[in-house]
Amino acid sequence: MFVSKNTNIGKEDKIMIDIKFLRENPEVVKENIRKKFQDEKLPLVDEVITLDAERRATQQQVDDLKANRNKISKQIGQLMAQGKKDEAEAVKAEVANEGAKIEELDAKQKELEEKILKDMMIIPNIIDPSVPIGKNDTENVEVTKYGDPVVPDFEIPYHTEIMERFNGIDLDAARKVAGNGFYYLQGDIARLHSAVISYARDFMINRGFTYCVPPFMIRANVVTGVMSFAEMDAMMYKIEGEDLYLIGTSEHSMIGKFIDTIIPEEELPKTLTSYSPCFRKEKGAHGIEERGVYRIHQFEKQEMIVVCKPEESPMWFDRLWQNTVDLFRSMDIPVRTLECCSGDLADLKVKSFDVEAWSPRQKKYFEVGSCSNLGDAQARRLKIRVNGADGNKYFAHTLNNTVVAPPRMLIAFLENNLQADGSVRIPEVLRPYMGGMTEIR
């Protein structure tokens, strides 16, 4: 996996990749853009290089003018002491003129920096060399299957029908109260929902992660630090009149927890598991399999995040997705891992796996979690730095992964644990969270 320990920390922190890297490796950046099938962004590379050269030349002019101004400023006192008032006034005028030039160049430099930042914010992160090349999610690659997918010899109803048999869901009332994309869970189904969350929390704690309940709203500077503009527009709900957004996942506020911090290297890794509700716009039309509680505006989730040294992020990536696989297998749900191809990766991501659960009704797998390594992209934007043992500071790497996200996970759970008589079996690991129940009838 591509790993960089970047110590170039400066004014360009809010971008996805190091501008020095782009300046020295423009063809690498362009080839990365081509691999992501975003050819419309190719001109941005040359534009940034031109703007950056102009910015640095302007900075040099400013530095030279300031040095000259400081030099001639010292002459004023000497001339006044010698009684050469007229000459001193002439030097004062020259100093004032230099000051005006500096102000003009400072304004130009600020304008150039804003243009560079605008371009650099949308040039995608460098993907890992192992990522398969493909245009969209139809070209994602299956990695491994876990468990035997079974199709029972009785009919599996749609998940909302299973829930309704237990008086466990009320979509009509939710539609009246909040509109489409919301739900009321109730009775044993609601209890099952909470049991899964509680079990997932304890599962991650037992794997050494620190449990956390984060803020459910974050400021705009955190939003732009953790995700791309395209994701932000498609997902986030803005609180009108305030600098606050509802989180789409607790990863947002959990990574934001470390904004503008310098972490001693010996304190890494930071391994946290967090609970939160999540709020998403979910723009666009959805197919029949995405009605019910598959794609909704509000849900709850247990998440895991890691902040670590760059050389350790490949290892943590493999550990994170394996945690989700192990959790689902402990509930007797067959799953598979799917590697996201280049065109399906969000711009900040270096590498990503989806975990998909088996649906006996559909006779196929569907997504229940996503694991991502973002390299130093989020850390660069949020200024999450590490103080190395040698005293040098560098950007951390950040990773995130879904532990479990009911109610979507409930779809897989109900379908895979439904029995011929209509009851739902409760796997042994969940029984302590369900008051000892072995099945829902």
* 124-140 confidence digits (pLDDT tens): 999 999 999 999 999 99
* Residue partners of 50: CB distance under 8 A and separation at least 6: none
**Cα separation of 410 and 199, whole Å?**
13
What pLDDT score was predicted for residue 15? 64
How distant, in Å, are the alpha carbons of 109, 167, 190, 289 from that of 171?
A: 56, 11, 13, 16
Q: Which domains does the chain have, with CATH numbers?
A: 39-120 (1.10.287), 137-440 (3.30.930.10)
Whether residue 264 has a cis bond before it, omega within 30° of 0 = no
For residue 152, is it left (φ>0), alpha (ψ between -120 and 50) or beta? beta
**Cα separation of 112 and 17, whole Å?**
18
Cβ 337 vs Cβ 144: under 8 Å: yes
What pLDDT score was predicted for residue 165? 94
The pLDDT of 237-245, averaged and rounded, is: 93
pLDDT of 294 higher than 90: no
User: Which long-range contacts (C-beta less than 8 Å, at least 24 apart) are formed by 132-137?
Assistant: 132/339, 132/341, 132/342, 133/35, 133/341, 133/342, 133/343, 134/341, 134/342, 134/343, 134/344, 135/37, 135/341, 135/343, 136/341, 136/343, 136/344, 137/340, 137/341, 137/344
Cβ 341 vs Cβ 133: under 8 Å: yes
87: pLDDT confidence band, cut at 50, 70 and 90?
confident
pLDDT of 100 higher than 60: yes
φ, ψ (nearest 5 deg) of residue 208: 95, 10
Query: For the segment 134-177, what is each residue's pLDDT rounded down to a tens digit?
Result: 999 999 999 999 999 999 999 999 999 999 999 999 999 999 99
pLDDT of 11 higher than 50: no
What pLDDT score was predicted for residue 68? 77
What pLDDT score was predicted for residue 74? 67
pLDDT of 285 higher than 60: no
Mean pLDDT of the chain: 90
Strand ranges (E), 255-347: 261-264, 270-279, 298-308, 335-339
Helix or strand holding residue 211 (H, E) = strand 210-212
pLDDT of 91 higher than 80: no
**Cα separation of 64 and 77, whole Å?**
22
Whether residue 26 has a cis bond before it, omega within 30° of 0 = no
C-alpha closest to that of 224 among 215, 213, 236 = 236
Query: For the segment 368-398, what is each residue's pLDDT rounded down to a tens digit?
Result: 999 999 999 999 999 999 999 999 999 999 9
Proportion of the chain above pLDDT 70, given as a percent? 90
Query: For the segment 400-421, what is each residue's pLDDT rounded down to a tens digit?
Result: 999 999 888 999 999 999 999 9
The pLDDT of 91-107, averaged and rounded, is: 80
Q: Report the DSSP pairing between strands 210-212 and 270-279.
A: parallel
pLDDT of 349 higher than 80: yes
- pTM of the model as a whole: 0.87
Specify the higher pLDDT residue, 257 or 229. 257
Range with lowest mean pLDDT among 15-19, 306-310, 383-387? 15-19
